[in-house]
Chain A
Amino acid sequence: MKFRAMMQDPEYMREFLYIIQTLSKLAKACVMKISMDKVYFVANEESGSTAPLVWVEIDPKQYFAEYTMQGVDSENDPHIVLNIPTLNLGTALSLLRNNPSYCKLKLTNLQFPCLTVDIDAATKSSDKSRRAMHHVPVDVIPRCDWPHFAVPTIPECKLVLNVPSNRLIRGLIDKIKNLSPTIIFYATSAGEMNLVAETDMATITTRYQNLELHTINPSDGDKSKEHIEASCSVDCKKTALFFSALQIPSTELSCGIADDRLIHLEVNVRDGVTIHSKLPAVCI
């Protein structure tokens, strides 16, 4: 098994740090799945916790200046699946905050399997650079256990809308969290999305209008209708946690609603780098 990757663009490196920090706010450990054409990070806390399922998809050819991997079973679909403690990886990457010149990731075996993070960062005070090396202990997941660590699939949603400014939504859901345990996402094909929180005393609705419609998959019964509607009620704490964990300053978020089944949130960081989350529906 071999894995080496190098980043050189400071902006990419900072983004990478934000991604890992996002994951470390959601789960203690994440699964890193390395294949030839994709790198995935999956943060999935055990069921019962409030943390939502979040996964990150990275296209290594665009992101890493240098990328080599050699997985087991090299003939068909070679992979490396690692279990990484997110907090350790976050600490290891912390130097990326100040003006890094390169960041290398490498899978090594130093007494036990490690993901070696090698960062070189320039300093303000001197012309020479500072160098940090961390050996983050990882668990190599054997092939027989791979089925348990499959990357989640992107669900098919009835309506997908582009919602602006997730910072606004974050503040809103943070407030609603204290009022109601659930929040209803309601959207129409006319480009309107409502966030509804119902309590005994009041109903709070936040309306977003003239949103861009991303995709539409009408069900058989809806095809004749002029406006197609979709709504789903989700756990408010779970939703709030996703938004508060999100460290990336992005302006747009796509929100897919599958009627009474789930909500799929997707943040497109840049071409080839996306953060996904699935929020399951709850009964009111």
Chain B
Amino acid sequence: MKSTLDGGNTKVFAKAVQSLSKFGGDLFIEANIDGMQLRTLNPTKSAVGTYRFSRSFFDCYEVDQNEESFCKLDMRACLTVFRNTKQVERCDMALLNDRTKFQIQLKCQHETLKNTFISVDDEENITAEMAPENNCNTICGSHKIFTEISNNFNPAEEEITLEAQEKKVNVKNYVEGSRVNEKFMRSQLQLNADEFEKYKIEKETCITFCLKELRAFLMFAEALNESLCLQFDGAGSPVFVGISHRDEINCILIMSTLSPEEVSFYDNCQESEVQECTTSKTSQKRKLKTSVPNQSKNIRRVMDQKCIAEDTTLSNSSSLFGFVNNSSKRSYPSSVAVPRNLNTSVSTSSFDEISLLTPALSVETNRMQMFDKNVDPVVSKGVHNGDNDDCIPESPKREGRTNLRSIFSRCFQSTYVPVEPSTSGQIFALDSDTE
């Protein structure tokens, strides 16, 4: 396979490589009769981007009829070649006959010739046998509007959720009522249907997909000054993002989508007034030590244990949460904190047994939690109200801390000797020898 590009098209080609490099580590090049295509997969294999350049895009394009030329190259190697294409006047690309090297020749100004051989990583090709034909929902718009949408979110944002309704679209970086980190900024942007060039929603739906890949794709759309087309069915089935440029370049990005049911929810997600913890720390200490009756201590212990259980299970599938099991359905924002409360009172006895079996740990964590509250001034601010009878941990921060304490619990036991940990592991062996 051999192909030649002129200066202007080389810049477009370089832009394509640059944009693909934003999300994939390997570049798959395939050349056939119709043209050349560049493909990449993201590391989690949830998105695949395909940039297809037709024959007419190239000045000269040769490919053997019976031969299918494809190869897998390292993205970083390609990126270095195409990083600076300002002075390029001509670009020749060829897959060498023995299929071990991919040759790129850049003819630059002042008779400079840059010759690069990139070794072929693998004779591998990927295909994505999916076509955006029968999707019921389509949103098309200029790259500007999509750039504005992407600018509405933090640069580090990973996923966005698109709520497509008949007359408007809602773009969010969270799912209503979902569990989020305490430092997480929830954002949403509402746009009207008539802001888009084409807006056809047959079935109202809500899909979640990666933002990073979309941003990479957007970068190329901006370079071509073309509009973007989103086609999708619903959550769980893929979303197709397309760009086409004068029949010469056809790009399609296929991303898997996530349905909102797969995230864990908060029990209580109602807006309330911000409260300040006004009691001073010493009085809080006293209150906790004296006034907490046995019963609520038990509940507390149970709750602590539940927290540990929740936090140590890696999966966020709902069946693992005790309280969700009992109430037999996920608690959405509308059902306020009741299930969790109710639960504990019903199943206290059974949990008591559990807490008897492993009392040491739970007591320890319990004690640590109290200790922690008394000493650390940063924790006891804001929403926490210490004088309530039901000492249910409300904020996720404390749950996280309990988890931390339970993992490193030995560090907080009286038997722990705080010796500076050695940097090299080999010293352990030496010590036992000398003794």
CB-contacts of A69-103 with B (<8 A): 72, 85, 87-88, 91-92, 94-95
In whole angstroms, what is the CA distance A133 to B151 when docked? Answer: 14
CB-contacts of B354-386 with A (<8 A): 377, 380-383
Q: Cβ of A58 < 8 Å from any Cβ of B?
A: no
* Contact A132:B381 (CB < 8 A) given known A1-B275, A140-B276: no
B183 & A142 in contact (Cβ 8 Å cutoff): no
One digit per residue, 1 when the CB lies within 8 angstroms of any chain A CB and 0 when it does not, for chain B 181-213 equals: 011111111111011000000000000000000
* Chain B residue at minimum C-beta to C-beta distance from A136: B185
B152 & A107 in contact (Cβ 8 Å cutoff): no
* Contact A132:B269 (CB < 8 A) given known A142-B381, A144-B280: no
One digit per residue, 1 when the CB lies within 8 angstroms of any chain B CB and 0 when it does not, for chain A 98-131 equals: 0000000001111111100000000101101111
Q: Cβ of B217 < 8 Å from any Cβ of A?
A: no
Choose among A2, A131, A137 the residue that contacts B189 (Cβ–Cβ < 8 A).
A131
A139 & B194 in contact (Cβ 8 Å cutoff): no
Q: Cβ of B266 < 8 Å from any Cβ of A?
A: yes
B183 & A137 in contact (Cβ 8 Å cutoff): yes
Q: Cβ of B277 < 8 Å from any Cβ of A?
A: yes
**A130 CB, nearest partner CB in chain B, Å:** 6
B276 & A72 in contact (Cβ 8 Å cutoff): yes
In whole angstroms, what is the CA distance A109 to B90 when docked? Answer: 60
Q: Cβ of B427 < 8 Å from any Cβ of A?
A: no
A91 & B195 in contact (Cβ 8 Å cutoff): no
Q: Which residues of A contact B381 (CB under 8 A)?
A: 139-142, 145
Q: How many B residues face the partner with a CB closer than 8 A? A: 39
* Chain A residue at minimum C-beta to C-beta distance from B145: A125
A113 & B383 in contact (Cβ 8 Å cutoff): yes
* Chain A residue at minimum C-beta to C-beta distance from B141: A125
B194 & A125 in contact (Cβ 8 Å cutoff): yes
A1 & B192 in contact (Cβ 8 Å cutoff): no
Q: Which residues of B contact A264 (CB under 8 A)?
A: none
* Chain B residue at minimum C-beta to C-beta distance from A113: B274
B185 & A135 in contact (Cβ 8 Å cutoff): yes
Choose among A1, A92, A126, A133 the residue that contacts B276 (Cβ–Cβ < 8 A).
A1
Q: Which residues of B contact A133 (CB under 8 A)?
A: 187-190
* Contact A142:B382 (CB < 8 A) given known A1-B274, A109-B271: yes
* Chain A residue at minimum C-beta to C-beta distance from B173: A134
Choose among A94, A125, A145 the residue that contacts B151 (Cβ–Cβ < 8 A).
A94
Q: Which residues of A contact B380 (CB under 8 A)?
A: 142
* Contact A142:B276 (CB < 8 A) given known A94-B152, A109-B271, A126-B194: yes
A113 & B185 in contact (Cβ 8 Å cutoff): no
Choose among A123, A135, A139 the residue that contacts B186 (Cβ–Cβ < 8 A).
A135
Q: Cβ of B395 < 8 Å from any Cβ of A?
A: yes
In whole angstroms, what is the CA distance A88 to B185 when docked? Answer: 7
In whole angstroms, what is the CA distance A132 to B188 when docked? Answer: 6
Q: Which residues of A contact B188 (CB under 8 A)?
A: 132-134
* Chain B residue at minimum C-beta to C-beta distance from A124: B195
**A85 CB, nearest partner CB in chain B, Å:** 8
One digit per residue, 1 when the CB lies within 8 angstroms of any chain A CB and 0 when it does not, for chain B 249-282 equals: 0000000000000000010110111111110110
* Chain B residue at minimum C-beta to C-beta distance from A112: B182
B187 & A137 in contact (Cβ 8 Å cutoff): no
Q: Which residues of A contact B276 (CB under 8 A)?
A: 1, 72, 140, 142-143
* Contact A131:B190 (CB < 8 A) given known A72-B276, A113-B383, A142-B276: yes
B184 & A142 in contact (Cβ 8 Å cutoff): no
Q: Cβ of B180 < 8 Å from any Cβ of A?
A: yes
Choose among A112, A130, A139 the residue that contacts B195 (Cβ–Cβ < 8 A).
A130
In whole angstroms, what is the CA distance A94 to B180 when docked? Answer: 23
Q: Which residues of A contact B191 (CB under 8 A)?
A: 130
* Chain A residue at minimum C-beta to C-beta distance from B174: A135
**A268 CB, nearest partner CB in chain B, Å:** 31
In whole angstroms, what is the CA distance A141 to B274 when docked? Answer: 12
**A33 CB, nearest partner CB in chain B, Å:** 14
B377 & A108 in contact (Cβ 8 Å cutoff): no
8 closest A-B pairs by beta carbon, nearest first, are: A140-B382, A135-B186, A131-B190, A142-B381, A128-B192, A126-B194, A88-B185, A134-B187
Interface residues of A (CB under 8 A from B): 1-2, 72, 85, 87-88, 91-92, 94-95, 107-114, 123, 125-126, 128-137, 139-145
Interface residues of B (CB under 8 A from A): 145, 151-154, 180, 182-192, 194-195, 266, 268-269, 271-278, 280-281, 377, 380-383, 395-396
Contacts A114-B186, A132-B188, A142-B277 known; list 15 others, CB within 8 Å: A108-B271, A109-B275, A111-B180, A111-B266, A123-B192, A125-B145, A130-B192, A131-B189, A132-B187, A133-B190, A137-B182, A141-B381, A142-B278, A142-B382, A143-B278
CB pairs A–B below 8 angstroms (28 shown): A1-B275, A87-B154, A88-B154, A91-B154, A92-B185, A108-B271, A108-B274, A109-B271, A110-B271, A112-B383, A113-B274, A114-B186, A125-B145, A126-B195, A128-B195, A130-B189, A130-B192, A133-B187, A133-B188, A134-B188, A137-B183, A139-B382, A142-B277, A142-B377, A142-B380, A142-B382, A144-B280, A145-B377
